[in-house]
Amino acid sequence: MRLGLALPQIGPHANTERIAEVAARAEALGYESLWVGDRLHAADEPKTSYPGPAGMPSQQRTSLDPLLVLTVAATATSSALLGTSTLSAPLRAPIQLARSLAGLDRLSGGRLIAGFGLSWLRDEYEAAGVPWTERGARLDETLDALAELWGPDPVCFDGRFSSISRGTFQPKPQQQPVPIYLGGASPAALRRAGRRADGWLGVPMPVDALRHVLASIDDQARAVGRGPVATAIRINPTIQDLPTGIPGVGPIDDLVAYLRSLADLGVADAFVDLQLTTEDTDSLLRTAEDIRTAFP
């Protein structure tokens, strides 16, 4: 199983001067993938609830643009995969998204994993002028539009939300095709991942529960004649001395044990986001080194 690291992007880690340093250091430590998230707007009184008991982390009130961060990382590294987990695709026009991601894939030499999701925050949709109730349909249409734009020229697309007249779309991504991963754990999200995606972006859960989810995704893939869907698990650990039995909450040794259980389950990728459990970029790098040393 490949181990990855989330790049500095939020809160006190949102320092453009250190993105390249962290990316290069992570690759040198043996991290095989580098990841970014997406937070467009931090509402004071969100209209939808954060998917966690403590509410939206205060660190997310400061956030660098994910594609800017990946662009810097692409120029500072040579082998690590570069992923988005997740990019809120419906908030962006498909043709603009296609151009940005194609450029990133070429800049990195074909290392992009395009991970998309819907975001839990209704306020982001209102800020972007996108109807909240259309988010799932817009994601589906974005996937259709990307397939057309990244395919052979001439391209042409006529969808419910956007139309692209016949023309040339260049340059194409280096990878053909770019791997597309989808996040979410609702029945609709798992169905979409199994039927449309190359991979699923998951979150920590007990191994037996995760095994059930992965089986459900594979069932959806087989139902439409597709092969197995890869898995990448994002872990936002809370590193502390006291063991809890909760995946990702406890000592580094417990985190490593959970990573090994994911590997035994056949998970292809797991990555840790240390921005919520470290105070600054120096401590993030020290913790990243400790984890990589413990999980060689």
pLDDT digits (tens, 9 = 90+) for 186-204: 999 999 999 999 999 999 9
Predicted local confidence at residue 55, as pLDDT: 82
- The structure tokens listed for 218 are 């594979």
Q: Where are the domains of the chain?
A: 2-234+261-294
What mean pLDDT do residues 6-26 have?
97
pLDDT more than 90, % of the chain:
96
Nearest to 83 by CA among 200, 187, 251: 200
Identify the pLDDT of residue 95: 98
- CATH fit for domain 2-234+261-294, picks 1.20.1250.20, 3.90.280.10, 3.40.50.300, 3.20.20.30: 3.20.20.30
Alpha-helix runs per DSSP H in 30-83: 66-76
pLDDT of residue 264: 97
pLDDT tops 90 at residue 18: yes
The confidence score (pLDDT) of residue 76 equals 98
Average pLDDT over residues 255-261: 98
pLDDT at 126: 96
Please write down the long-range contacts of 44-49, taking CB distance under 8 Å and 24 or more positions apart: 46/121, 46/122, 46/123, 47/121, 47/122, 47/123, 47/126, 48/120, 48/121, 48/122, 48/123, 49/120
Looking at the predicted structure, is the pLDDT value of residue 219 above 90? yes
**Residue 96: which H helix or E strand, with range?**
helix 94-107
**CA neighbor of 53 nearest in space, from 199, 221, 249:** 249
Q: What are phi and psi of 269, to 5 degrees?
A: -140, 140
> Among 292, 226, 234, 293, which residue's Cα sits nearest to residue 262?
234
pLDDT band at residue 285 using 50, 70 and 90 as cut-offs: very high
Predicted pLDDT at 51? 84
**Contact between 43 and 60 (Cβ < 8 Å):** no
What's the pLDDT at 56? 85
Task: Please report which helix (H) or strand (E) contains residue 292, including its range.
Answer: helix 281-294
pLDDT on residue 114:
98
Distance (Å, whole) CA 181 – CA 199: 4
What is this structure's pTM? Answer: 0.96
Residue listed under structure tokens 């810097």: 72
Q: What mean pLDDT is predicted for residues 8-36?
A: 97
Q: Could you report the per-residue pLDDT of 54-106, keeping only the tens digit for each?
A: 788 888 989 999 999 999 999 999 999 999 999 999 999 999 999 999 999 99
Q: What is the dihedral of CA 270, 278, 19, 111, to 10 degrees?
A: 0
Q: Residue 53 above 80 pLDDT?
A: no
Tally Cβ neighbours within 10 Å of residue 137. Answer: 14
Per-residue pLDDT tens digits for 109-160: 999 999 999 999 999 999 999 999 999 999 999 999 999 999 999 999 999 9
Q: Name the nearest CA neighbour of 101 among 171, 37, 158.
A: 171
Residues paired with residue 117 on neighbouring β-strands, in sequence order: 88
